[in-house]
Amino acid sequence: MAPLPSRVPPPQASLLPGARHVLRTPHFIVRADDFLGILITERTDLPYASLQELEDVMDELCDTLDEQGRARFALLADLRAAPGRNDSAFETTMNRLTPRWCEGFRKVGVLVQTVIGQMQVQRYARQDGIERLITTDEAQLIDYLTAE
């Protein structure tokens, strides 16, 4: 079996070619598809050096999402390239930060690479109560986010 590439193509390269770039950092790429009404937050494969870096990155990301006007958009969180991490301190921090990331959107969808990633995001969803579709199927996610 061939190894998976370290960098999964972002949604823009496949189903969302019209998305404009909003923010590019070492940890996230944010795009907006104004026609479909979808904000894409694509996690890169760069690990966080510390929990403080995670907090700082998420502050910048969430401020950017606020500036775009969350209520106008559905959120597509593409986590396929994210490095796996589930230590207790990380999980606690993400449980605290995830609501600010996901709140205020018309709909939320999370794109993951593996079933293990899907299970991790489901744990966050149980904690914050924000409804979201979590899947490995990009087409299914786009359909969900654009359906009335």
- Read off the pLDDT of residues 87-108 as tens digits, 9 standing for 90 and up: 899 989 988 999 999 999 999 9
Domain membership of residue 45 (yes or no) is yes
Q: What pTM does this model have?
A: 0.86
Q: For residue 127, what is the enclosing H or E element? A: helix 115-128
Phi and psi torsions of 3, nearest 5°: -70, 150
pLDDT number for residue 15? 62
Token reading at 78: 């593409």
Residue 1 located in a structural domain: no
Write down the pLDDT at residue 45: 94
Residue 69 confidence (pLDDT) = 97
Low-confidence ranges of the chain (pLDDT < 70): 1-15
- CATH number, domain containing residue 40: 3.30.750.24
Assess contact for 19 and 40: CB atoms under 8 A.
Answer: yes
Report how far apart, in Å, the C-alpha atoms of 115 and of each of 12, 90, 102, 135 are: 23, 19, 21, 9
pLDDT at residue 12, as a whole number:
39
The per-residue pLDDT for range 2-20, each reduced to its tens digit, is 444 444 444 434 668 789 9
Flag whether 64 is in a domain.
Answer: yes
pLDDT at 50: 96
Segments forming the whole domain that contains residue 82: 25-146
The answer to whether residue 139 is domain-embedded is: yes
Residue 3 lies in a domain: no
Q: Count of domains in the chain?
A: 1
> What are the residues facing 32 on neighbouring strands?
20, 39
Task: Report yes or no on 13 lying in a domain.
Answer: no
Residue 121 counted as domain residue = yes
pLDDT of residue 4: 43
Q: Is residue 123 part of a domain?
A: yes
Q: Are 134 and 118 in contact (CB under 8 A)?
A: yes
Q: Can you give the pLDDT at residue 14?
A: 60
